[in-house]
């Protein structure tokens, strides 16, 4: 493992959400990573551990991106139920950003060097991205995070270190809880016609073509630091994990394809998801109010 070189999460990765009026107050469960070994926290070993570590790199800036994407259209939402869901969405996403900032700080304390890792898809100033495009990209990413959460909540791929296991399961539950919010805002603002469908599809293609290469690059970089293997070997390990066994991304392909149906809606698995979330929350001892 590379020796510690930085004590702070890079600003472009983990800028606090207190700016622009988004609260950084933590609610819900607290996570103590003092005893966590980030290189080996997942019981499936270092490759699995670093896959989730690579995902974590996106959340501090990514969740801020999602919050602003939804919030800038609040003035066009008159439905009080949807407004309540938006407030819950913002609160949950702000909490996720805060906890993953702590996650990254703890990784750095253990020697990971993350300063140069590439997350440019969320690093552009928000006012330089067209709000409608930003919302379309957010809807696509929310579908991906919900699909990934559903997979690991029911497949058992998250397990090992108590604090990190609890964080990922808690985060996954909340992603399923609010998976429809950005989509419903999009539908309310953009509509359901041909243009809305085209934009939703184009947003998904745009964000996927940015996200997957960056996820792979970050995954390989973390493996290179941890296992000290050559980059080609680390790349093969990363691709095998994501696409062959357990093949997490391969197993999300059908969910991804489903997103391109004109009448797609994230709530299609709502009954299943509610049961899954309730089961996981009970096992963690977390109420739905946290």
The residue whose two tokens read 């991906």 is 144
Query: What is residue 289's predicted lDDT score, i.e. its pLDDT?
Result: 53
Query: What is residue 120's predicted lDDT score, i.e. its pLDDT?
Result: 67
Cα gap 260→278, rounded to integer Å: 29
Bridge partners for 160 per DSSP: 42
Cα gap 290→277, rounded to integer Å: 13
Contact 85, 70 (CB under 8 A): no
Q: What is the tens place of the pLDDT at every residue in 207-222?
A: 999 999 999 999 999 9
Q: What is the pTM of this model?
A: 0.88
Query: What is residue 121's predicted lDDT score, i.e. its pLDDT?
Result: 63
Low-confidence ranges of the chain (pLDDT < 50): 2-26, 290
Query: What is residue 16's predicted lDDT score, i.e. its pLDDT?
Result: 34
Neighbouring residues of 214: CB distance < 8 A, sequence distance ≥ 6: 58, 118, 119, 120, 121
Query: What is residue 5's predicted lDDT score, i.e. its pLDDT?
Result: 39
Query: What is residue 285's predicted lDDT score, i.e. its pLDDT?
Result: 85
Structure tokens at 186: 């999009």
Query: What is residue 151's predicted lDDT score, i.e. its pLDDT?
Result: 95
Neighbouring residues of 34: CB distance < 8 A, sequence distance ≥ 6: 106
Query: What is residue 55's predicted lDDT score, i.e. its pLDDT?
Result: 97
How large is the C-alpha radius of gyration of the chain?
18
> Residue 58: which of 112, 114, 2 has the closest Cα?
114
- Segments in 228-269 forming alpha helices (H): 231-243, 253-258
Query: What is residue 1's predicted lDDT score, i.e. its pLDDT?
Result: 55
Full set of structural domains in the chain with CATH: 38-284 (1.10.620)
Query: What is residue 96's predicted lDDT score, i.e. its pLDDT?
Result: 96
For residue 231, the number of C-alpha atoms closer than 13 Å in the C-beta half-sphere is 4
Cα gap 177→154, rounded to integer Å: 15
Cα gap 195→18, rounded to integer Å: 35
Report the sign of the C-alpha dihedral through residues 8, 10, 16, 19, in that order.
positive
Cα gap 28→257, rounded to integer Å: 34
């Amino acid at each position: 493992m590379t020796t510690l070189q930085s004590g702070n999460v890079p600003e472009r990765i983990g800028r606090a959400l207190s700016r622009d009026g988004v609260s950084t107050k933590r609610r819900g469960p607290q996570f103590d990573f003092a005893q966590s070994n980030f290189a080996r926290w997942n019981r499936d070993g270092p490759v699995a551990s670093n896959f989730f570590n690579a995902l974590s790199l996106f959340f501090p800036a990514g969740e801020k991106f999602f919050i602003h994407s939804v919030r800038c259209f609040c003035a066009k939402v008159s439905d009080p139920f949807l407004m309540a869901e938006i407030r819950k969405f913002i609160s949950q996403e702000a909490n996720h950003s805060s906890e993953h900032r702590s996650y990254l700080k703890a990784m750095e304390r253990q020697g990971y060097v993350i300063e140069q890792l590439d997350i440019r898809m969320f690093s552009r100033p928000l006012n330089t991205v067209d709000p409608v495009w930003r919302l379309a990209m957010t809807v696509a990413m929310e579908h991906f995070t919900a699909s990934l959460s559903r997979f690991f909540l029911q497949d058992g791929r998250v397990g090992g270190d108590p604090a990190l296991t609890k964080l990922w399961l808690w985060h996954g539950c909340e992603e399923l809880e609010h998976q429809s919010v950005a989509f419903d805002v999009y539908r309310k603002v953009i509509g359901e016609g041909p243009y809305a469908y085209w934009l939703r599809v184009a947003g998904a293609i745009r964000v996927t073509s940015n996200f997957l290469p960056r996820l792979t690059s970050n995954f390989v970089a973390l493996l290179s630091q941890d296992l000290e293997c050559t980059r080609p070997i680390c790349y093969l390990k990363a691709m095998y994990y994501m696409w062959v066994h357990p093949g997490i991304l391969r197993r999300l392909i059908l969910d991804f394809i489903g997103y391109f149906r004109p009448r797609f809606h994230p709530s299609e698995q709502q009954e299943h998801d509610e049961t899954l979330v309730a089961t996981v929350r009970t096992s963690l001892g977390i109420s739905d109010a946290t």
